[in-house]
């Protein structure tokens, strides 16, 4: 009965699709990040074959959580594994499957994001879903990769509301269309004191730099002093970490800098795990540009993988002949991942809707106020002010 109540309540308390659609993405307000063009969807799913599915779980004011699943390609991920790496910005987190990815340099399951106390349930459900697939009858070991952030302010996290059915729903609904904001694993997250959530973005390199695509998806749940294209938005609005310590009022838990971010990076560039780890590390540059400071209590992880068919690790082959970019070719990809991460975080904030939760209400960032501040600092529509490159 309790499970039926939760599912029934979703439609009653979650923001409607119309409400979510009314919230803009960064580029809808003229907030153009960096110099590289985006892919057609400006999403991690611009990397061919990558799909994202989500399940949002809610009940009254007490439960706001969910699952976001990233599937690397359309084939058999277990037998046609993608090279991968994980970078730890700050290790205060519960990232299941980390050590095997580090040891072998590959991922053999979809990647699932959820809430802190639901990691183990999600990992079990992901393993169960994979093992039930045709052809997996004799598999005796599997390494589910599951990341998290703590949504305990808006979600009764001790209820551990995620079930195997939620994980299955996210995995089996995966598509190229990615909802952002207060959905999936971002349903109960908070960033910079505002409602955070899921955000995504991509960058497409010009053919002269290889023509590769880099896509990013984030689960934003961290603190700092919000900066957008260099404009001090958090300071101007008057909401930022340690705000009360700098004034005359007593410290509250609400304005501490602690929090976490999970970042998943996909690219079609042919990269081995070593250079994927280097690529993952540069995603943290994007976090820094938004004003995040990777505090002591923050679990900040980047999972990066390559979908290039020339780099796959097939379990049917004892020898892998792979193609991999040189070190000298990495710099443009570093720029791409930093830009895409920064913009994905902005999208997660701008698309999020206000959520009344377990311990507090997290308000959606006020878009009109943000636009005025960005205009004041002349950081809008940068795509129209950057001159084109010179022809040699």
389 band by pLDDT with thresholds 50, 70 and 90: low
Closest CA to 80 of 103, 113, 46, 110: 110
Rounded CA Rg of the chain: 20
Closest CA to 14 of 70, 63, 69: 63
For residues 345 and 220, give the distance between their C-alpha atoms in angstroms, rounded to a whole number: 7
> In this predicted model, what pLDDT tens digit does every residue of 69-84 receive, in sequence order?
999 999 999 999 999 9
Residue with tokens 């908070």: 190
β-bridge partners, 26: none
Residue 236's Cβ-count burial label (10 Å; 0-12, 13-18, 19+) is middle
Residues with catalytic function: 260, 298, 300
For residues 344 and 347, give the distance between their C-alpha atoms in angstroms, rounded to a whole number: 5
User: Mean pLDDT over residues 110-139, rounded?
Assistant: 98
For residues 321 and 312, give the distance between their C-alpha atoms in angstroms, rounded to a whole number: 9
Q: Which two tokens stand for residue 5?
A: 């109540």
> In this predicted model, what pLDDT tens digit does every residue of 198-243 receive, in sequence order?
999 999 999 999 999 999 999 999 999 999 999 999 999 999 888 8
CB 248 within 8 A of CB 200: no
Name the residue with higher pLDDT: 62 or 390: 62
Neighbours of 319 (CB within 10 A): 5
Query: pTM of this prediction?
Result: 0.93
Cα end-to-end distance, the chain, whole Å: 69
Q: How far from 368 is each of 188, 233, 241, 276, CA to CA, in Å? A: 23, 12, 22, 38
130 torsion bin: left (phi>0), alpha (psi -120 to 50), beta (else): alpha
For residues 341 and 108, give the distance between their C-alpha atoms in angstroms, rounded to a whole number: 24
């Amino acid at each position: 009965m309790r499970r039926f109540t939760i599912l029934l309540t979703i439609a009653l308390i979650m923001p409607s699709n119309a409400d979510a659609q009314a919230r803009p993405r960064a580029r809808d307000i003229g907030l153009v990040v960096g110099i590289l063009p985006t892919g057609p969807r400006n999403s991690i799913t611009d990397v061919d074959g990558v799909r994202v599915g989500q399940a949002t779980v809610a009940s009254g004011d007490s439960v706001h959580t969910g699952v976001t699943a990233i599937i690397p390609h359309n084939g058999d991920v277990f037998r046609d594994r993608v090279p991968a790496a994980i970078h730890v910005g700050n290790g205060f987190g519960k990232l299941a499957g980390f050590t095997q990815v580090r040891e072998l340099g590959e991922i053999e399951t979809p990647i699932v994001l959820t809430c802190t106390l639901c990691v183990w349930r999600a990992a079990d459900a992901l393993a169960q879903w994979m093992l039930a697939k045709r052809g997996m009858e004799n598999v005796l070991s599997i390494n589910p990769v599951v990341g998290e952030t703590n949504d305990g302010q808006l979600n009764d996290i001790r209820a551990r509301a995620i079930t195997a059915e939620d994980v299955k729903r996210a995995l089996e609904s995966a598509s190229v269309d990615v909802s952002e904001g207060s959905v999936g694993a971002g349903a109960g997250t908070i960033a910079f004191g505002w409602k955070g959530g899921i955000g995504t973005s991509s960058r497409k390199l010009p053919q002269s730099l290889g023509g590769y695509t880099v896509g990013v998806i984030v689960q934003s749940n961290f603190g700092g002093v919000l900066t957008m294209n260099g404009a001090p938005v958090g300071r101007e609005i008057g909401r930022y970490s340690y705000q009360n310590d700098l004034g005359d009022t007593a410290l509250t838990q609400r304005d501490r800098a602690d929090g976490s971010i999970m970042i998943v990076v996909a690219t079609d560039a042919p990269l081995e795990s070593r250079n994927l780890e280097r690529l993952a590390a540069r995603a943290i540059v994007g976090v820094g540009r938004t004003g995040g400071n990777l505090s002591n209590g923050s679990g900040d992880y980047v999972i990066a993988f390559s979908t290039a068919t020339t780099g796959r690790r097939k379990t049917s082959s004892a020898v892998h002949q792979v193609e991999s970019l040189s070190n000298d070719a990495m710099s443009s990809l570093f720029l791409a991942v930093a830009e895409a991460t920064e913009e994905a975080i902005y999208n997660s904030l701008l698309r999020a809707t206000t959520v009344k939760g377990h311990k507090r209400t997290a308000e959606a960032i006020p878009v009109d106020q943000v636009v005025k501040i960005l205009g004041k600092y002349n950081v809008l529509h940068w795509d129209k002010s950057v001159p084109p490159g010179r022809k040699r």
